[in-house]
């Protein structure tokens, strides 16, 4: 069992097509948060981008 990151409900990992989310609804809520830029990835060290 894992905890859904959106609603905190306990949900099965195996056999769950929406994992780690408990449902498609929670999965889409999370996607909407990314698209609305509520989540951000912290910038890394610029030296890491050098090829």
% pLDDT > 70, the chain: 86
Bridge pairing between strands 2-3 and 10-11: antiparallel
Q: Do residues 2 and 20 make contact, with C-beta atoms less than 8 angstroms apart?
A: yes
Structural domains present in the chain: 2-40 (3.30.50.10)
Enter the pTM of the model.
0.72
Q: What is the DSSP letter of 40?
A: -
Please report how many Cα atoms fall inside a 13 Å half-sphere around the Cα of residue 7, on the Cβ side: 13
Kindly report the backbone phi and psi dihedral angles of residue 10, in degrees, each rounded to the nearest multiple of 5, phi listed first: -75, 135
pLDDT (tens digit per residue) in 3-21: 999 999 999 999 999 999 9
């Amino acid at each position: 069992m894992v905890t859904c990151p959106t609603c905190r409900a306990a949900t099965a990992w195996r056999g769950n097509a929406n994992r780690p989310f408990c449902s498609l609804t929670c999965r889409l809520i999370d996607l909407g948060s990314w698209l609305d830029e509520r989540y951000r990835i912290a910038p890394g060290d610029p030296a890491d981008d050098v090829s």
